[in-house]
Amino acid sequence: MSEPILHTPDNETEIDTLYAFMSIDTEGRHGIVAEILPDLGSTPLVTALPNVAEKMKPLAQQIARKTGKRVGLFRFKREAQVWWTEG
């Protein structure tokens, strides 16, 4: 088995908020949605930037139309670190 290719750009800022698009089924269960993007593959619609979340809305609308599920944008605030490891 080959080693995975890692993409590790420099960190840009402290992240206190994440925006994630999630589908909501008829029973109220949620799941993070992803789009298949050229040269990237399956890409979850998650970002730390509100302006990027705005730009993702058309993708989320396409996913909702294709799947018949409701898709919503959720904001998550950093509350507590729950795990840590170092290399």
56 lies in some domain:
yes
Report pLDDT for 5.
78
49 lies in some domain:
yes
| Residue 50 in tokens | 């509100």
Q: Using DSSP bridges, classify how beta strands 30-32 and 17-24 pair: parallel, antiparallel or unpaired.
A: antiparallel
Report pLDDT for 51.
96
87 lies in some domain:
no
Mean pLDDT in runs of 10 for the chain (87 residues)? 78 91 93 89 93 96 93 94 87
Tell me the three state secondary structure of residue 49: coil
pTM (two decimals): 0.80
10 lies in some domain:
no
Structural domain including 44 reads 17-77
**DSSP bridge partners of 26:** none
Report pLDDT for 37.
80
Tally of domains within the chain: 1
31 lies in some domain:
yes
Contacts of 46 (CB under 8 A, 6+ apart): 18, 19, 20, 21, 32
- 4-35 in b/e form (b: 16+ CB < 10 A) is eeeeeeeeeeeeeeebbbbbeeeeeeeeebeb
